[in-house]
Amino acid sequence: MDFSNRNVVVTGGTGMLGSAVVAALLKGGASCRVPYVHQGEVDRFEHRGHKQVTLVAVKDLSDETDVAKTYAGLTSLWASIHIAGGYLWGPVEGTDKAALQAQINMNFVSCFLCCRAAVKAMGANGGRIVNIAARPALEWRAGANMSAYGASKAAVAAFTVALSEEVAKDGILVNAVAPSIMDTPVNRKDMPRADFDKWPKVEEVAATIVFLASPDNRVTRGGVIPVYGKS
């Protein structure tokens, strides 16, 4: 997929899924802008020295100032991919308001604000937006014992579909992917008895994201695409 001379913002780009997305974008010729919060993220980021990668230090992507900083100075924007977020495991009785609000901020508010900034940057020129939902956003019963997380991701899914209708007239195609548990070292450690072969690989999920963000995607919008592998 050809991303030559195209600017792409990737939030959460220093994480495992984000790094795989950035790798695919760079292979296609994109210039990537990647916000980060902690220096340790940069130290582990394999693409930190790439000439087509711009790293932007931020504190909180649920803050309008940091979102504006992320998108500042972009004279043109082709795609914005929103991977940044957070996960919380725990029953409702042990989840207080602060923990709930943190999930909403990390997963939904950050996505909303970045989408707003992306729409402004794209204008009537068209572009692509890809958000990250999750399996519990589509299968609500799967959110038991992680209801704050699931609800925040369900908000991302609903917002994605609504936004796709709002901006289609401008040639901006908005979609989301909804991964199940992905095959990562952390997940293998946390669930050692799971059948890892059923989990989608990070690179496979990244491939779906990159297609939706690419010029090759000419018609798909308003989708919340399950990326479950065999699980």
- Sequence-distant (≥ 6) Cβ neighbours of residue 163 within 8 angstroms: 115, 119, 129, 174
CA distance 84 to 147: 19
- Does 183 score more than 90 pLDDT? no
β partners of residue 7: 31
Sign of CA dihedral 115, 121, 126, 127: negative
DSSP 122: H
Q: Encode pLDDT of 108-144 as tens digits.
A: 999 999 999 999 999 999 999 999 999 999 999 999 9
Q: Which of 166, 165, 123, 25 is nearest to 83 (CA)?
A: 25
pLDDT of residue 122: 97
One-letter identity of residue 171: G
Query: 151 falls in which pLDDT band (50, 70, 90)?
Result: very high
Q: Encode pLDDT of 62-118 as tens digits.
A: 999 999 999 999 989 999 999 999 999 999 999 999 999 999 999 999 999 999 999
What are the phi and psi torsion angles at 53 (to 5°)? -115, 125
Query: 48 falls in which pLDDT band (50, 70, 90)?
Result: very high
Residue-averaged pLDDT of the chain: 97
pLDDT of residue 147: 97
Structure tokens at 229: 């592998």
pTM of the predicted structure, to 2 decimals? 0.96
- Does 32 score more than 90 pLDDT? yes
CA distance 32 to 80: 10
Contact 21, 10 (CB under 8 A): yes
Q: Which CATH architecture has domain 7-227?
A: 3-Layer(aba) Sandwich (3.40)
Mean pLDDT of all residues in 227-231: 93
Query: 8 falls in which pLDDT band (50, 70, 90)?
Result: very high
CA distance 84 to 136: 17
Contact 208, 225 (CB under 8 A): yes
- Does 153 score more than 90 pLDDT? yes
pLDDT of residue 231: 87
- Does 173 score more than 90 pLDDT? yes
Note the helical H segments in 139-195. Answer: 147-167, 185-190
Domain residue ranges of the chain, discontinuous segments joined by +: 7-227
